């Protein structure tokens, strides 16, 4: 059997779980493609609504590019630490190292969400509520959906940490972490799209 799969290969071929990983990771990528269509359409919607501020506040008054940049750095760093967690798993550097890197990723993801929430609240303060205009509706349909994905991925990570506490780093945990990694990096890619189109594009 082929031991290569579209995730992080965990060393030499290790039986049925490895064969299953091939299919599971590929399936998860296909799922991500479908999710990418979702985000792509919402981004297109946002672009088509850029002018529809309907007398409400626009990007200039609402967006805080400095905060967005910090969020971007936090999220991208969490991808790096997620990668380090997976490398620790690949090189069997012990459960502790994996857990530490996972918790760092979770912390960075949490910080990203906290900062995003702060931005949302300050937008609401300035009258940037979704009910104000088509433009803001498109914004609020897209950006919080990404945040929701990040929060779900965080919940998933907690579930996997629970599995690790229960079973150690067994096959189930390994394939789970490989798929979570795919989702985590995918959400980065989506964020880069949002950063470019929504924030930089909106302010341009």
Partner 1 sequence: MTPDILLGRLDASALPWHEITEAENRLQLLSGIVGLAAALLAVVAALAVAAILTRRRGWGPLWRDWATSLDHKKIGIMYVVVAFAMLARGVAEAAVMRLQQALGADGGGILTPDHFGQLFSTHGTIMIFFVAMPFLTGLINFVMPMQIGARDVSFPLLNSVSLGLTVAGAALVMISLVIQPFSTGGWSGYPPFTEISFQPGAGPDYWIWAVTLSSLGSTLSGINFTVTIYKERCEGMRLMRMPMFCWTSLCTSILMIFAMPPLTVATGLLALDRYLGFHVFTNDGGGNVMLFANLFWLFGHPEVYILILPAFGVWSEVFSTFSGKGIYGYFTLVLATMCIAVLSFTVWVHHFFTMGQSADLNAVFGIATMTISIPTGVKIYDWMLTMYRGRVRITVPMVYAVGFLFLFVLGGMSGVLLANPSIDFQVHNTLFLVAHFHNMLIPGTLFGMIAGYTLWFPKAFGFRLDDRWGYRAAGLWIVGFILAFFPLYLLGLMGMPRRLVGFFEEGWLPLTLAALAGAGCIVLAVIALGVQLAVSIRRREALAVPVGDPWDGRSLEWALPAPAPEWNFPTDPVVNGRDAFMQLKRQGGHLDRPEGGFGDIRVPRESAIGPIVAVAGTAAGFALTWYIWWLAALSVAVIVGAMIARGFVRDAWRTIPAATVEAHWTAWRALADATPRVRRSDELRPANRGHAVPAAEERST
168: tokens are: 């150690």
Report the residue from 138, 150, 187, 190 that binds partner 1 according to the rule CB under 8 A: 138
* Beta carbons within 10 angstroms of residue 180's beta carbon: 22
The distance of closest approach from Cβ of residue 131 to partner 1 in the complex, given in angstroms and rounded to an integer, is 4
Q: Which stretch binds partner 1 (CB under 8 A): 23-31, 86-94, 117-125, 191-199?
A: 23-31
Cα distance between residue 121 and residue 200, in whole Å: 20
Phi, psi angles (nearest 5°) of residue 129: -90, 155
In the region spanning residues 140 to 199, those forming contacts with partner 1, defined by CB under 8 A, are 140-141, 155, 159-160, 162-163, 166-167, 170, 172, 176
Residue count, binding to partner 1 (CB under 8 A): 41
| 3-state class percentages of the chain: helix first, strand second, coil last, to nearest 5 | 80, 0, 20
Q: Does 37 bind partner 1 (CB under 8 A)?
A: yes
CA-closest candidate to residue 63, choices 76, 75, 53:
53
Which residues contact partner 1 (rule: CB under 8 A)?
A: 22-23, 26-27, 30-31, 33-35, 37-38, 41-42, 45, 48-49, 52-54, 56, 130-138, 140-141, 155, 159-160, 162-163, 166-167, 170, 172, 176
């Amino acid at each position: 059997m082929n031991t290569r799969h579209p995730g992080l290969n965990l060393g030499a071929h290790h039986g049925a779980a490895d064969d299953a990983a091939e299919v599971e990771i590929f399936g998860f990528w296909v799922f991500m493609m479908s999710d990418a269509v979702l985000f792509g359409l919402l981004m297109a919607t946002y672009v088509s609504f850029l002018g529809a501020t309907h007398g409400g506040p626009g990007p200039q008054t609402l967006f805080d590019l400095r905060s967005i940049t910090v969020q971007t750095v936090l999220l991208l760093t969490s991808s790096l630490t997620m990668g380090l967690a997976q490398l620790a798993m690949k090189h069997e550097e012990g459960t502790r190292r994996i857990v530490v890197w996972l918790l760092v990723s979770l912390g960075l993801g949490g910080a990203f969400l906290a900062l995003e929430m702060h931005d949302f609240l300050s937008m609401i303060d300035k009258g940037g509520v979704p009910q104000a205009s088509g433009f803001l509706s498109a914004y609020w349909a897209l950006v919080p959906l990404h945040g929701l994905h990040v929060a779900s991925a965080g919940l998933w990570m907690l579930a996997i940490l629970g599995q690790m506490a229960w079973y150690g780093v067994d096959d189930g945990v390994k394939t789970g972490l490989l798929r979570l990694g795919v989702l985590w990096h995918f959400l980065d890619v989506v964020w880069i799209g949002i950063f470019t189109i929504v924030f930089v594009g909106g302010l341009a």
